[in-house]
Amino acid sequence: MGFCVRFLLLLLLTGLLGISTTHAAKNMLRLATTTSTDNSGLMQVLVAAFEKHNNIRVHVIAVGTGKALRLAREGDVDIVLVHAREAEEKLVADGYGVNRRDVMYNDFVIVGPASDPAEIRGLNDAIAAMARIADSRSIFVSRGDNSGTNKKEITLWKEAGAKPGGAWYREAGQGMGKVLQIAGEMQAYTLTDRGTWIAYEERSPLEILIEGDSSLHNPYGIIAVNPERYADVNYDEAMQFINWITSDEGQRLIRDFRISGKTLFIPSATTEN
């Protein structure tokens, strides 16, 4: 075979490989979401159902909300599912995200050891509970990772007039599941979303001490990365996922997802951006 023929075949093969690679990339949705949706098992259920009826593969990146939103700002993902409403709205206002939709909600709870050294059991006020933990210098394990949970915790400390720090305040820099494990080993307090708690409670020595306060409400939103900011994002695929997760089918799967008979998330989709 002559050189020219071999060269032409090489060009053809390279071109075909390029087309194949591009096609595969356009059918791969990069979804950044929170460790709470991943640790609980919900994300696996949703992704499996979506992939079954769509010619789209979903690559899930489970990180804290802060990291997920940073990935969106840098154009490294196509879509984010997170729980920090103020930060979500800023992402959209700054032009990095579009078509934000409500998806679901649950709530945060404060868990701690049965001995309850800060004596918060029975309080109806999460802010007062955080103040007691700080005043008593009882060990508290923080995610310390700029996640939605960490953002909520920081807000609660501020509203309690407390400045956490010192030997009693431990920043783990880890996801929620790992933090629950660490807090259990240390017989410490921590703030967790209810979904992850339900997934881990049977293996944890801790128990819920504070729940039900309106300040612990925890809504989740989904946002597509703005294609006008990053032309290479898979916007069409992102919108397919957004439309699906906010559809009757996606909302039903969220509503029906349970662990030990307990509901983890309440669907809340609307048609508003």
Question: Does some domain include residue 9?
Answer: no
- Lowest average pLDDT, out of 18-32, 126-140, 194-208, goes to 18-32
DSSP code per residue over 28-39: EEEEEE-HHHHH
Question: Does some domain include residue 18?
Answer: no
- Give the tens place of pLDDT for each residue, 98-118: 999 999 999 999 999 999 999
Structural domain for 233, as ranges: 26-106+219-267
| 171 and 203 inside one domain | yes
Label residue 25 by pLDDT band (50, 70, 90).
low
- Please give the backbone phi and psi of residue 214, each rounded to the nearest 5 degrees, phi first: -60, -25
Distance CA 116, CA 99 (A): 44
Secondary element (H or E) of residue 150: helix 148-159
Question: Does some domain include residue 120?
Answer: yes
Question: Does some domain include residue 3?
Answer: no
Q: Is 95 left (phi over 0), alpha (psi -120 to 50) or beta?
A: left
Q: What is the pLDDT of residue 5?
A: 42
| 130 and 94 inside one domain | no
Q: What is the pLDDT of residue 39?
A: 86
| 66 and 157 inside one domain | no
More confident residue, 27 or 68: 68
Secondary element (H or E) of residue 98: strand 97-112
| 112 and 163 inside one domain | yes
Mean pLDDT, range 199-225, rounded to an integer: 95
Q: Average pLDDT of the chain? A: 89
Q: What is the pLDDT of residue 26?
A: 64
More confident residue, 6 or 24: 6
Tokens 């640790």 belong to: 39
Mean pLDDT, range 34-63, rounded to an integer: 93
| C-alpha dihedral sign at 79, 84, 87, 92 | positive
Is it the case that residue 17 has pLDDT exceeding 80? no
Number of domains in the chain: 2
Using an 8 Å Cβ cutoff, are 205 and 184 in contact?
yes
| 149 and 96 inside one domain | no
Structure tokens at 88: 């979500």
Question: Does some domain include residue 20?
Answer: no
Mean pLDDT, range 35-48, rounded to an integer: 93
Distance CA 105, CA 252 (A): 14
| C-alpha dihedral sign at 199, 143, 160, 115 | positive
Is it the case that residue 186 has pLDDT exceeding 70? yes
Question: Does some domain include residue 250?
Answer: yes
Secondary element (H or E) of residue 21: helix 3-26
Label residue 238 by pLDDT band (50, 70, 90).
very high
Is it the case that residue 24 has pLDDT exceeding 70? no
Q: What is the pLDDT of residue 114?
A: 97
| 138 and 206 inside one domain | yes
Under 8 Å CB-to-CB from 224, ≥6 apart: which residues? 78, 79, 97, 98, 99, 233, 235, 238, 239, 242
Q: What is the pLDDT of residue 8?
A: 41
Using an 8 Å Cβ cutoff, are 28 and 56 in contact?
yes
- Greatest extent of the chain over all pairs of C-alpha atoms, in Å: 85
Global pTM exceeds 0.85: no
| 80 and 173 inside one domain | no
**Residue closest to 180 by CA, chosen among 37, 38, 39:** 39
Percent of the chain with pLDDT over 90: 82
Label residue 13 by pLDDT band (50, 70, 90).
very low
Q: Of 178, 199, 216, which residue constitutes the final position of a domain?
A: 216
| 179 and 191 inside one domain | yes
Is it the case that residue 230 has pLDDT exceeding 90? yes
Is it the case that residue 68 has pLDDT exceeding 90? yes
Using an 8 Å Cβ cutoff, are 266 and 106 in contact?
yes
| 158 and 247 inside one domain | no
| 204 and 225 inside one domain | no
CATH number at residue 73: 3.40.190.10
Under 8 Å CB-to-CB from 94, ≥6 apart: which residues? 73
Mean pLDDT, range 46-63, rounded to an integer: 95
Q: What is the pLDDT of residue 14?
A: 38
Report the DSSP beta bridge partners of residue 29: 58
Question: Does some domain include residue 125?
Answer: yes
